[in-house]
């Protein structure tokens, strides 16, 4: 009898934001998906590209301003005061550490080891003056057509 | 299955949150032989639903599951 392995389910994600809180969701979904035998590509565009920058991966920040969901016991307007972003970021990292959440660098490593394709947007790199050597190892460089070709056959596509 | 099976390997993901219980499980399962049984311990409340979804998706069957003192225990047989 012929046994046919079905094509794996496919997840295509666009990561468009470069804050610490918004760096987690695409990476949590990607690492979960590969653990479920899905294939995954993440296209990092605009501020999302910061997640892949060697110098930024470990210093992504949380913006307390205009972020009323921030669990800070102060009025939102105080988020505009210098230093508040640093405090909010420190709080978030402490909360993450307490719950044994991996860092963004560790999440990226897990994703890469699981075979997730990390794609850096070349338009963003051109506009923002980012070079390939500014990014972590193993990143593919491509544009929208590459992502769309991949996403056209995806079972789940997300813009984050 | 009503009795706790004997595990060939144990993964302790207690104290971690999503996605680690699933990722840890997958990592261990990949190193095991077909038919072997993995015991997973987890405390993430999401893991109860997540492990079932993971099992349906990957085909590695949950033979036995229990919850005790907010700890979820799963026995998973590699397909």
User: Looking at residues B11-18, what average pLDDT do you find?
Assistant: 95
Q: Of A129, A116, A105, A127, whose CA–CA distance to A43 is shortest?
A: A116
Q: pLDDT tens across A18-35, in order?
A: 999 999 999 999 999 999
Domain segments of chain B as ranges: 9-77
Question: What average pLDDT does range A60-88 have in this prediction?
Answer: 83
Composition of chain B by helix, strand, coil, percent to 5: 30, 35, 40
Residues B1-12 have a mean pLDDT of: 90
- A36:B53 CB<8 A: yes
The pLDDT of A115-142, averaged and rounded, is: 95
Mean pLDDT, residues B61-73: 96
Confidence of residue A1 (pLDDT cuts 50, 70, 90): low
- pLDDT over 90 at A116, yes or no: yes
Mean pLDDT of A99-124: 95
Are residues B18 and A28, on separate chains, in Cβ contact within 8 Å? yes
Q: What is the pLDDT of residue B12?
A: 97
pLDDT at B61: 97
State what percent of residues in chain A have pLDDT above 90. 73
Give A3's pLDDT tier (boundaries 50, 70, 90): low
| CB neighbours of residue A150 within 10 Å | 20
Say yes or no to pLDDT of A73 above 80. no
Portion of chain B with pLDDT greater than 70, in percent: 99
Q: Is the peptide bond before B5 cis (omega within 30 degrees of 0)?
A: no
For the segment A115-126, the average pLDDT, to the nearest whole number, is 95
Is A28's Cβ below 8 Å from some Cβ in B?
A: yes
Specify the pLDDT at position B1.
67
Cβ-based neighbour number of residue B49 at 10 Å: 9
Instruction: Give me the residue from B17, B50, B58 closest to A101, CB to CB.
Output: B17
Work out the pLDDT band at A70, boundaries 50, 70, 90: confident
Q: For the structural domain made of B9-77, what CATH number should be given?
A: 3.30.110.40
What does the mean pLDDT of chain A come to?
92
Is the pLDDT confidence value at B38 over 60? Answer: yes
pLDDT at A6: 75
Residues 6+ apart with CB under 8 A from A86: A61
Chain B CB contacts of A31 below 8 Å:
19, 23
Of residues A78 and B28, more confidently modeled:
B28
pLDDT at res. A84: 87
Of B17, B18, B58, the CB nearest to A36: B58
Please say if the pLDDT value at position A79 is more than 90. no
Distance CA(B24)–CA(B18), nearest Å, equals 10
- The domains found in chain A, sorted by start residue, are 10-63+105-159 (3.40.1260.10)
């Amino acid at each position: 009898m012929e046994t046919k392995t079905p094509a794996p389910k496919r997840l295509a994600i666009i990561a468009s934001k470069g804050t610490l809180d918004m760096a987690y969701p695409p990476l949590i979904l990607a690492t979960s998906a590969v653990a479920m035998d899905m294939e995954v590509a993440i296209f990092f565009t605009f501020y999302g590209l910061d997640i892949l920058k060697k110098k930024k991966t470990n210093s992504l920040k949380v913006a307390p301003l205009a972020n009323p969901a921030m669990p800070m016991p102060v009025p939102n307007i105080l988020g505009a005061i210098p230093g508040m972003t640093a405090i909010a970021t420190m709080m978030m990292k402490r909360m993450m550490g307490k719950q044994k959440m991996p860092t963004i660098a560790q999440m990226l490593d897990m994703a890469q080891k699981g075979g997730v394709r990390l794609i850096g947007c070349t338009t963003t790199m051109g506009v923002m003056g980012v070079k390939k050597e500014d990014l972590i190892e193993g990143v593919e460089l491509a544009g929208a057509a590459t992502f769309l070709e991949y996403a056209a056959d995806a079972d789940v596509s997300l813009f984050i | 299955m009503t009795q706790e099976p004997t595990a060939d390997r144990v993964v302790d993901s207690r104290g971690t949150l999503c996605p680690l219980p699933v990722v840890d499980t997958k990592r261990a399962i990949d190193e095991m032989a077909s038919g072997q049984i993995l015991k997973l311990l987890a405390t993430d409340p999401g893991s109860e639903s997540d492990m079932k979804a993971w099992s349906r998706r990957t085909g590695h069957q949950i033979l036995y599951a229990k919850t005790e003192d907010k700890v979820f225990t799963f026995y998973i047989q590699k397909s």
